[in-house]
Amino acid sequence: MPGTLPYARVLAAVAALLTGGVLPQPAHARSAPPAPAAHTNPLAERRADAQIHRHTDGYYYFTATVPEYDRIVLRRAATLQGLSTAPETVIWTKHATGEMGAHIWAPEIHFIDGKWYVYFAAGRSDDIWKVRMYVLESSAANPLTGGWTEKGRIATPMDSFALDATTFVVGGIRYLSWAQKDPAVATNSNVYVARLANPWTISGTPTRLTVPTHPWETVGFKVNEAPALVEHAGRVFLSYSASATDSNYCLGLLSASASSNLLDPAAWTKSPTPVLTSNTATGQYGPGHNSFTKTEDGTSDVLVYHDRGYKDISGDPLDDPNRRTRIQKLYWNADGSPNFGIPVADGATPYRLASVNHPDRYVRHQEFRGRLDADVRNLADSQFRTVPGLAGGGTVSLESANLPGSYLRESNGEVRLERDDGSAAFKSSATFRQRTGLSDAAWVSYESYSAPGRFLRHRDFLLYVEPAATALAKADATFRLE
């Protein structure tokens, strides 16, 4: 009959169920997953407004605002984490007088038509708040060693405070997006977009995409700035930063179809809530001025941003030098929208644990019970740091990303999220031996330290520590780190 399984498939299914196994899977159902990227934060101290360009030569190029606001620096490395210790080169220094003589802010490096370009903002030596956008050009293969030519100021229809230029290509069209003050609008800055005739020249009339109107966009100052674009599944997402650059700084988001007219404001939808904010639990404050890059294998998007490790600032936040560059994986919801999660704690970045036999479901905690769910919108509920085991001996423990100090532990066979009480019993029950995946060697399994032979597994989408003797149990106890 139409819609029924072939006879051989039915027999195999019955046999699998009778023996406690799993249904046969298509050959492509579980391909070897890419190795999860290991990142440690912060990536770079005293570097704000960071941007990382992943180039075709196999290197990552990193640039950022330095706290002295007097120069443009570059680093390069073969890995994202390698940027942390890569030597830094000064490629340009502010002018002694006149234009480009102060407030050297927010550089971005891009490779366009065979040449390197750096976009940045600068004030005048005699008027430091007369900030405008400028461009440098280099034809060298290695932008750290080549010479740079000043292409001058990016002219905009309004001759006003302008900064945070970024460029991107969608549908074969190159755009420039930036932040600028409109004297006719009672805000500090809004976000604009226009086509580019060449890397330093706007073509046509710019479009204003967003004005700060929500309460979270207007704390301290009415700010929309620092646009950054990421494209996914036929849609484009333009993040931007809002409010004052203290602990109120946060990220907002615009979205549009990649096939729409991006110069039409009606093509864009603005999120009513911020997508990344300060987090007291993880000790991260004022996340903002982000960019996007890719993991080394090109399979995952990475969020790059800055924040501070403390909330209270003495004086003007612009005089505080301690914004630092951070990176973490950008995840995607089932509907194709980005999930920024929370600014994770300093140290090793967390992973999600996907089920081998339900790959759209992830280990998460809900009301402190460990379970397996799909499309976890509260992303950090499904993120865990793999840390040295509380009981030691080459083991691991799984620490909650949004409740640091709390761990997945076995309690009467059930897996719960509980805070470490310091006892030997807790440490033992919250410790596992990370093993090769029981049902797939490319994945991982977690054997209980306190009950050898028992494994972290899901059953009816709840987590337990139980034996894994059957094929089904082995699959239930096998996970992918992502």
Instruction: Kindly list the catalytic residues.
Output: 49, 225
Q: Is 424 helix (H, G, I), strand (E, B) or coil?
A: helix
Residue 441, both tokens: 């060697």
Q: With contact defined as beta carbons under 8 Å apart, do 168 and 153 qualify?
A: no
Torsional sign, CA 274, 298, 90, 47:
positive
Residues 131 and 225: their CA atoms lie apart, in Å, by: 14
Q: With contact defined as beta carbons under 8 Å apart, do 190 and 182 qualify?
A: yes
Dihedral in degrees, nearest 10, Cα atoms 337, 241, 42, 392: -40
CB atoms within 10 A of CB 128: 13
Q: With contact defined as beta carbons under 8 Å apart, do 41 and 349 qualify?
A: yes
Q: Is 190 helix (H, G, I), strand (E, B) or coil?
A: strand
Residues 6 or more apart whose CB falls under 8 angstroms from that of 41 comprise 326, 327, 328, 344, 345, 346, 347, 349
Query: 175: number of CA atoms within 13 Å, CB side?
Result: 22
